[in-house]
A and B are shown apart, each in its own frame.
Chain A
Amino acid sequence: MLTFLAYFVATVFLVGFLSRIFVYARSPAPLKIPTTPAPTTRLGVVWRLFTEVVFFNSLFKSDKLAWAGGLAFHAAMAVVLIRHARYFVDPMPAFVGPLQIIGIVAGVVMAAALAFLLLRRLVFERVRHISSRADYWILFLLLGIALSGLLMDFVLRPNIVAIKTQLLTMWSSVTGLPPLNSAGDVMFLLHLLLVGALLVIFPFSKLMHAGGLFFSPTRNQVDNPREKRHVAPWAKALD
């Protein structure tokens, strides 16, 4: 059952995500519209995007609270994801072992940052005004994932070793279910289902900012319109 779900989730996520990226990549950008001052070289653009992705440069300039909450959440999530390699890869990569403590701290930071972002959305009038139900549900979903994960670390420990063995062999068995012998095991199943839900809605929601950012013309274009003629295919037909 879980195997079937896993294949379903993976397919929806991968096909959905890649097809959105394909749409972005295929749609032409007929005019040069970088927000200036902008880099005048390709390398400069790579650096600009790097600072946006890693440091949230523009957000830092505009909203310090959103920046702090957003960066804390994303950075913590990155560490948590790397730590999760211990559950999927056998043998476990050497660098993942020492990440155990940092990973758990990151899990706490992730949940705290999400709670902060939720609070911010509720408290500040302007942010509350622009929020739709979907904006809250995505936050709840992420919070649910983080909290169920933390609960397994601190309170309801599932039988991780059994689950990992099961997971690694599961792909060959269509009916495979993880063991459900304790509250911890149930918590694990819940955790997994919430992650599945997140991955399924990913390509159809604002979560696509993860891939879309790289296709934002105001950020990814080189400022060289005088030096280099830039013409989109559909515009060429008008020449």
Chain B
Amino acid sequence: MAEYHVPPVADDIKTPALQDGSMAHLAPYPGMAKHMEPMGFPGERVENWQQKGVEKLGELLKKYRSLQVYLDICVKCGACTDKCHYYLGTQDANNMPVQRAELMRSVYRRYFTPAGKMFPGLVNAVDFDEETLQKWFTYFHQCSQCRRCSVFCPFGIDTAEITMAAREIMNAIGVGHKYSVEIIGKVHQLGNNLGIPKPALKGTLEFLEEEILDSTGHNVRLPLDQPGADVLLVAPSADFFSEPHIQSLMGYAKVFHQAGISFTISSYASEAANFGMFIGSYDHQKKIAKRVVEQARDLKVKRLVVGECGHAWRVAYSFWNTLNGPFDFLDPRYPAPQHICEFTHDLLQRGALSLDKEANDNYRVTFHDSCNVARATRMGPKAGGQFEIPRDLIRASCNHFVDMDEDTIHEKTFCCGGGGGLLTDELMDLRIRGALPRVTALKRVMESDKVNFMALICAICKAQFSKVLPMYGIPMDVVGGVHQLVSNAIQLGAKKGVV
């Protein structure tokens, strides 16, 4: 195994001095023809790639107001320069949001603005050449699209929009990222990111049913492809196979069981994640999300509930209705789609669940707001519900809860370091460094408040932290889902459910 550089963890998050190009060496693996072509992208770099790339940029400028406005209006105030976790962890100037965007802005100016055409040196306009493309491929794969910069920008400039456009342009000229395109290929083919076929999924769910029966004595079901169920549960596929994800899946099942609400998982739509967003592709997002809507219709369910996954919740909450709506065939009494935390919270408020906090007395818990949930979605009727509802569930499930530093939670939360399609081994060095701000805040509460469990609601965060925290000397079982706590605390059979 490669030796990684794990940065030292200070008492507080510090803004490091600039180091230009310190991460220039770390580009991801390129997509091969076998990954790219089935997606409708060129199998290798097209011959007239410069021209095609610039044309694609021109096309996107007409399709996305965000891109057009954000390329124009940055005043270089510098307020974002210390806000990105990748900058804080790597010191690389190109990981400052404004400088990352500058990689595209400088090309935009050259081809689309009078100043850049006439005075390229004055306004920093550059050709879309080999050197620029290499920088694009490197640094637009060092952005996790977490949108922390957009919170702090006086104009709300969202680097995620620029990164998505850059990846879409690169895919259009045959310069793709293997990890993301390969995964999207699997969803189109098998229905989930992990490429789990139906028999394997069925086997896992049956195994989990036995697990729960053994540990609780209750016959909690995890049905697959069950027509006529009340709810279609769409979970990230990691929930079926990875630790600690699987603990939350058992938690969801117990909640459904206890509430007496029937649900089903679908083998055709066995994935909440939607990597189409990471590569900026409206078409692929739509196609991936369509599986869910088709299954909801075919299985004749009344409600759609989404499991613990950050970007999946963004796509579901913010985009599903746009991409494949309207959801007028579902029960109008419930939001469509509904987050599993909203679902459980609602049941808790209606008195359908009883939770024994003492079951989690071995834990002192904090909560990591996942970026897409925090900054790109909502839960419940009120703005900010995405912060309060998961915390309410944690407080109802355990006796000891404490928040991390206020500059690292809610909409100011730090990315885990592995979001946005970067959860791949070749980028491990970046992932470790990118986790630094979160690790710093976590270590503080571990020392001051003896915190030993960081609950969260994102499959990518769970996978990333399980891998990276041990490198910082933090045990991997510190990380787990909110529904893992619910699963421990829920009293099965204690009350009658509601419908």
Contacts and interface: CB of A to CB of B under 8 A. Distances in A.
A70 B283 CA distance: 41
Nearest to B285: A31
A20 B61 CA distance: 13
B102 A130 contact: yes
A230 B321 contact: yes
B73 A223 contact: no
A221 to B, nearest CB: 10
Contacts of A23: 68
Shortest 9 CB-CB distances between A and B: which pairs? A62-B152, A212-B73, A218-B156, A127-B78, A37-B383, A63-B79, A219-B156, A209-B73, A59-B154
B411 A35 contact: yes
Given A27-B61, A212-B72, A36 B377 contact: yes
Contacts of B79: 58-59, 62-63, 66
A37 to B, nearest CB: 4
Contacts of A24: 65, 68-69
Contact of B78 (A126, A219, A232): A126
A119 interface: no
B283 A238 contact: yes
B13 interface: no
Given A27-B64, A206-B74, A235 B282 contact: yes
A216 B70 contact: yes
B392 to A, nearest CB: 16
A201 B118 CA distance: 13
B81 A56 contact: no
Given A126-B15, A132-B123, 9 more contacts: A27-B65, A38-B378, A126-B81, A126-B96, A134-B123, A135-B76, A206-B76, A215-B65, A226-B335
A193 interface: no
B384 A33 contact: no
Given A30-B63, A226-B317, A235-B282, A63 B77 contact: yes
Given A27-B65, A209-B73, A231-B322, A125 B161 contact: no
Contact of B153 (A27, A58, A131): A58
Nearest to A53: B154
Contact of B62 (A27, A31, A63): A27
Interface in A104-163: 120-121, 124-127, 129-135, 137
Contacts of B64: 27-30
A235 B35 CA distance: 26
Nearest to B326: A229
Contacts of B75: 206, 209
Sorting the interface of chain B by its residue count into under 10, 10 to 19, 20 to 34 or 35 or more gives: 35 or more
Contact of A204 (B99, B113, B336): B113
A40 interface: yes
B308 interface: no
A32 B156 CA distance: 14
B279 to A, nearest CB: 14
B383 A36 contact: yes
Contact of B124 (A29, A39, A132, A137): A132
A97 interface: no
Given A40-B383, A130-B78, A204 B115 contact: yes
B147 A217 contact: no
A146 B348 CA distance: 62
B36 to A, nearest CB: 21
A124 B114 CA distance: 30
A143 to B, nearest CB: 16
A35 B78 contact: no
B318 interface: yes
Nearest to A29: B65
B154 A33 contact: no
B318 A129 contact: no
Interface in B49-97: 61-66, 68-70, 72-83, 93, 96
A208 interface: yes
Contacts of B15: 126
Interface string B12-27: 0001011010000000
A32 B387 CA distance: 20
A235 B323 CA distance: 8
Contacts of B157: 216, 218
Contacts of A234: 63
Contact of B386 (A36, A70, A219): A36
Interface string B150-162: 1111111110010
B130 to A, nearest CB: 22
A38 B79 CA distance: 21
B376 interface: yes
B375 A36 contact: yes
B152 A58 contact: yes
B286 interface: yes
Contacts of B499: none
A217 B66 contact: yes
A229 B378 contact: no
A212 B122 CA distance: 22
B121 A133 contact: yes
A33 B113 CA distance: 26
A124 to B, nearest CB: 7
B325 interface: yes
B459 interface: no
A14 B198 CA distance: 62
Contacts of A33: 66, 158, 161, 318, 376
18 contacts: A35-B156, A36-B376, A40-B383, A52-B154, A59-B152, A62-B154, A126-B18, A130-B81, A206-B73, A206-B75, A209-B155, A212-B69, A216-B70, A217-B66, A218-B150, A218-B157, A225-B317, A226-B317
A196 to B, nearest CB: 17
Contact of B83 (A36, A62, A121, A232): A62
A212 B153 CA distance: 13
A128 B158 CA distance: 22
Nearest to A234: B63
